[in-house]
Amino acid sequence: MAAKTGERRLQILQTLAEMLESPKGEKITTAALAARLDCSEAALYRHFASKAQMYDGLIEFIEQSLFGVINQITRDEVQGLKQTELIIGLLLQFAQKNRGMTRVLTGDALVHEHERLQNRINSLLEKIESALKQALKVAATQGAIKPDADFGALANLMRCYCVGRWEQFARSGFTQEPLAQWPRQWPMLYFACLSQAGESTAA
């Protein structure tokens, strides 16, 4: 029974993610979700206490998916700048493969939901930025970038680049893919890393 409950919860989350892939970006109601699953709204609430809890489930999936790979990258790749490149590539690839999740990452799907969900996404983005900052610090210890570079500013630039690509993807109705210009844009970010130096070492 527990296995069936878990399978049903997963099915609900998968269906919600699929509905978020609509280019129109319409607000999803529990009534519409229940109709897609051919069940009653009451049946949904047997698995999730609220719609906000369903979005919690999607955010948890995003966190586990991204940081599972980020941790693997930082463990297996010794070069700091290569870590940075792989992390950004991962963020773009994840969005391109998971359109519905992209609308969660940009906050578009959370506009009319509980504010704690947006706070959770903000926290996730902060953790991503911290991972990028750490990779840049590793690169500095290896002599790949200047030791007095402003790691915080560089990491924030890369975070904003990723969020911007996600936003463009979602707002274009998923036609402008995040990875489309990545091969040409990474060298630009790479050059920023090589040339940038701050007045003082970042904390």
pLDDT 10s digits, 21-68: 987 767 889 999 999 999 999 999 999 999 999 999 999 999 999 999
Cα 62-202-119 angle, rounded to 5 deg: 30
Q: How many domains does the chain have?
A: 1
**Residue carrying the six token digits 């998923």:** 174
* 2 pLDDT above the threshold of 50: no
CB 164 within 8 A of CB 100: no
pLDDT at 80: 96
Does some domain include residue 9? no
Considering the entire predicted model, what is its pTM?
Answer: 0.90
In a domain, residue 18? The reply is no
Any idea what the CATH number is for the domain that residue 138 is in?
A: 1.10.357.10
DSSP string spanning 38-59?
Answer: TS-HHHHHTT-SSHHHHHHHHH
Measured at the alpha carbon of residue 166, what is the angle toward residues 75 and 97, in degrees to the nearest 5? Answer: 65
Q: What angle do CA 196, 122, 69 make, to 5 degrees?
A: 75
pLDDT band at 201 (very low <50, low <70, confident <90, very high): very low
Question: In this predicted structure, which of 32-36, 112-116, 156-160 has the lowest mean pLDDT?
Answer: 112-116
Rounded mean pLDDT of 126-150?
95
- Evaluate whether residue 16 is within a structural domain: no
Contacts of 168 by beta carbon, 8 Å cutoff, 6+ apart: 176, 178
Q: 162-200 pLDDT, tens per residue?
A: 999 999 999 999 999 999 999 999 999 999 888 865 443
Domain of 107, in residue numbers: 50-195
Residue 167 lies in a domain: yes
